[in-house]
Amino acid sequence: MGDILGLLAGGLAEALQPLNFGMILLGCVLGLLVGAMPGLGSVNGVAILLPITFLVPPNAAIIFLAAIYYGAMYGGAISSITLGIPGASTAVATVFDGRPLAVAGKADKALTAAAMASFIGGTISVVLFTLFAPPLAEFALRFGPVEEFALMLLAFATFIGLGGDDIPKTIFSILIGLVLAAIGLDIITGQPRLIFGDITGFMHGINFLVLAIGIYGIGEMLWTLEQTKGEVVVHNVKLSMKEIFKDIKDVKHYIGTTSMGSVLGYFVGTLPAAGATPASLMSYGLAKTFSKDPESFGKGNVSGVAAPEAANNAASTGSMLPMITLGIPGSPTTAILLGGMIIWGLRPGPLLFTEHPEFVWGLIGSLYIANLMTLIINLLFIPVFVKILTLPFTILAPTIYILCVVGGYAPTQTMHDVWLMFIFGVAGYLLRKLDYPVAPAVLAIVLGPLAERSLRQSLLSSQGDPMIFLERPISLACILIAVALAMVPVVQKIKRRKKREAEQA
Amino acid sequence: MTVRTAELLMAILLGLASIGLMVKSAELNITWIPNRGPGAGAWPFWLSAGMLICCLATLYRWFRGITPESRNNNVFMTRETMRIVGVSAGAILFLLSATHFIGLYLSLVFFLLFYIRFVGRHSWVVTIALTIGVPVFIFCLFEWALKIPLPKAVTEPWFYPIYDLMYS
């Protein structure tokens, strides 16, 4: 325990260095903005802005991106409350009570509660993260390629079991992500693979950023334009510092539900397919169940705003746990962070703690500071953010497209990648319209090379016998859980059918 | 085109793409090579085979009317969606194509001019401020701070004086 406190102190000192602290501030502000824009969330912000982080060293870059992640979770509430449109899917549950409060002229109460709850959620989850990460990383040091591959199967299985989307389409999305990752030179034999039309651009493979920016930049913007028809109506918000300070005192009314929601959110967040959106919905449900006045939920109960906001912030920290300790991202956003780490020349996983402690602890330290900074910035500048929301899409959309095009060009500096990004963006948009989930593909393209290497290494060591995955205890456990997860939808279907038959009988 | 038709077409298209990927992977060794493990093509081959199975499953579910899309007879792309999405996609298509000929910066100017003035109908002041401001910002961020040269095509000579200033 003393060890952890010492390392944490070092991490905080690292995060407070001028460059890193500046990155936290910038990241928080950008995150709040991205989160507040309808349709855009942390994943979009991180995907679009990752290329510009080549400007700073990896430590500062990850701190910047993590701060965006954090800020976006706070920011999502702003548009949920003032526009009645969730700023990101993670803030859907915030609309339920946030909107009625705004309509009743109590937007300030809702916004303050969202900020305070996010802070509580962030704090509780960062403490949990600090306690859980080092032992988990130490445990994961024992993992070989067999365990690594089993763990990835488990990560993909969570999409099938918990994703809630059409199963053949979900599996398709995972597989196409893995195939896209296989394009280029084979890592083991060095042979060129899947070079379509002998275009040399495919030789260096498809950078995960090309897919991520395509889907989360261009595709998402097209989707948002379709959903909002380019029109937003801001609900009138009157705010003064005096009001806000008065509202902060209300925290005692919802501290219980937020703490509960934070712990729940943290653990749900660690699961790759679950993450912040289901966590916030579950937390909302929990708050309603345990409330003395469940009737008032959905009509403007402050706890109904606080509970989901605490959970989505906690989940964002939770999703970093498997990324840092196991090298398996807990959400699409952390998948992009993980890809970034690979670009910066770091190998995510348990060794990170021993080989680059300043990186890991600097990140953890920055989470504490980002959490506090976002709260302060949020409370001080809520009116400014609300103003920015009124930016017409005809200014916002071209700016985002340009950032996507330039960001898609920067990592490899070929137009080939920019064209691919555009194609992925349009294809992603069309697929999304037909209910194909896109997040699994992004996770898969990041994990693809690691998955293939660990599979081939495992099979090589067992002379091609796949039973090796069932002979090692940790791998066996992962595979059993993966199978159980994949069975969840089947079991649910049978249950529903039985229930229907029972009702008919 | 209805959503129902769109789902059918998409599943067929993706299924054909999966077959294409399988054929392409099979150009390499997809079998077990003694002492060297699976051949280079094995991993993408079996993944593509899995994709094909998923497409067949989607087709079956479409045929049985299990997926919500297969029961949805609404228009896949309404006229309004076509307009708003088409303008964006078309403008980006222009931006990328033009970059090959007149470079990114000049293309950006036309792209912004079109979007802000002719789609957004904003005032000339806003239009000019952004059509100049955004490319300048992009230049400062990428070329100057990040040292990443962006494609300039025929406009390259225009930048020589700026390079002289930057690197002198």
CB–CB contact B67 A435 (8 Å): yes
Q: Do B48 and B110 share a domain, yes or no?
A: no
Is residue B19 predicted with pLDDT exceeding 90?
Answer: yes
Q: Do B38 and B91 share a domain, yes or no?
A: no
A441 and chain B in contact, CB less than 8 A: no
Q: Do B84 and B67 share a domain, yes or no?
A: no
Given B50, B71, B92, the domain boundary residue is B71
Q: Do B63 and B135 share a domain, yes or no?
A: no
A465 and chain B in contact, CB less than 8 A: no
Given B71, B91, B106, the domain boundary residue is B71
Q: Do B62 and B92 share a domain, yes or no?
A: no
Query: pLDDT tier at B156 (50, 70, 90 boundaries)?
Result: confident
Can you give the pLDDT at residue A136?
87
Q: What is the pLDDT of residues A229-277, one digit of tens each?
A: 766 555 566 667 777 777 888 888 888 888 988 998 898 888 776 677 7
A136 and chain B in contact, CB less than 8 A: no
Can you give the pLDDT at residue A489?
82
Q: Which residues of A fall within a CB distance of 8 Å from B44?
A: 179, 182, 193-194
Q: Which residues of B fall within a CB distance of 8 Å from A55?
A: 145-146
Can you give the pLDDT at residue B142?
82
Strands A184-185 and B32-33: unpaired
Q: Do B93 and B163 share a domain, yes or no?
A: yes
Which B residues 33-52 touch A at CB under 8 Å? 36-41, 43-44, 47-48, 50-51
User: Does ipTM come in above 0.90?
Assistant: yes
Can you give the pLDDT at residue A344?
86
Given B51, B71, B91, the domain boundary residue is B71
Q: Is the pTM of this model over 0.80?
A: yes
Q: Do B124 and B153 share a domain, yes or no?
A: yes
Q: Do B15 and B41 share a domain, yes or no?
A: yes
Across the interface, of A418, A431, A456, the residue whose CB is closest to B96 is A418
Count CB neighbours of A380 within 10 A: 11
Average pLDDT over residues B31-49: 86
Q: Do B133 and B152 share a domain, yes or no?
A: yes
Give the count of domains, chain B.
2
Average pLDDT over residues B144-150: 82
Backbone angles phi, psi at B33, to 5 degrees: -100, 120
Can you give the pLDDT at residue A272?
72
Q: What is the pLDDT of residues B58-110, one digit of tens each?
A: 999 999 998 888 888 999 988 888 888 999 999 999 999 999 999 999 999 99
CB–CB contact B116 A395 (8 Å): yes
Do the Cβ atoms of B107 and A375 come closer than 8 Å? no
In one letter, which amino acid is B164? Answer: D
Distance CA A449, CA A202 (A): 15
Nearest to A216 by CA among A341, A333, A83: A333
Q: Which residues contact A479 (CB under 8 A, 6 or more apart)?
A: A150, A153, A154, A469, A470
A490 and chain B in contact, CB less than 8 A: no
Q: Which residues of A fall within a CB distance of 8 Å from B47?
A: 175, 178-179, 182
Can you give the pLDDT at residue A274?
65
Distance CA A409, CA B151 (A): 9
Can you give the pLDDT at residue A500?
85
Q: What is the pLDDT of residues A165-200, one digit of tens each?
A: 788 999 999 999 999 999 988 877 888 888 888 888
Give buried/exposed letters for B65-101 (b at 16+ CB in 10 A, else e).
Answer: eebebbebeeebbeeebeebbebbbebbeebbebbee
Can you give the pLDDT at residue B51?
96
Q: Do B83 and B147 share a domain, yes or no?
A: yes
Count CB neighbours of B128 within 10 A: 14
Do the Cβ atoms of B29 and B101 come closer than 8 Å? no
A398 and chain B in contact, CB less than 8 A: yes
CB–CB contact A406 B32 (8 Å): no
Q: Which residues contact A26 (CB under 8 A, 6 or more apart)?
A: A64, A67
Nearest to A408 by CA among B85, B96, B73, B94: B96
Count CB neighbours of B158 within 10 A: 12
B6 and chain A in contact, CB less than 8 A: yes
CB–CB contact B91 A401 (8 Å): yes
Can you give the pLDDT at residue A231?
65
Across the interface, of B32, B67, B96, the residue whose CB is closest to A422 is B96
A415 and chain B in contact, CB less than 8 A: yes
Which residue numbers in chain A have pLDDT < 50?
A: none
Which B residues 9-38 touch A at CB under 8 Å? 10, 14, 21, 24-25, 28, 32, 36-38
Q: Do B35 and B87 share a domain, yes or no?
A: no
The boundaries of the domain holding residue B22 are 3-71
Q: Do B127 and B149 share a domain, yes or no?
A: yes
Mutate to test the interface with A, among B47, B64, B119, B123 (most CBs of A within 10 A): B47
Mutate to test the interface with B, among A179, A436, A490 (most CBs of B within 10 A): A179
A222 and chain B in contact, CB less than 8 A: yes
Q: What is the pLDDT of residues A438-492, one digit of tens each?
A: 888 988 988 888 889 889 888 888 888 888 888 888 889 889 988 988 888 888 8
Do the Cβ atoms of A162 and A484 come closer than 8 Å? no
Instruction: Provide the shortest C-alpha distance from residue B164 to chain A (in Å).
Output: 22
Helix (H), strand (E), coil (C) string for A32-85: HHHHHCCCCCHHHHHHHHHHHHHHCCHHHHHHHHHHHHHHHHHHHHHHHHHCCC
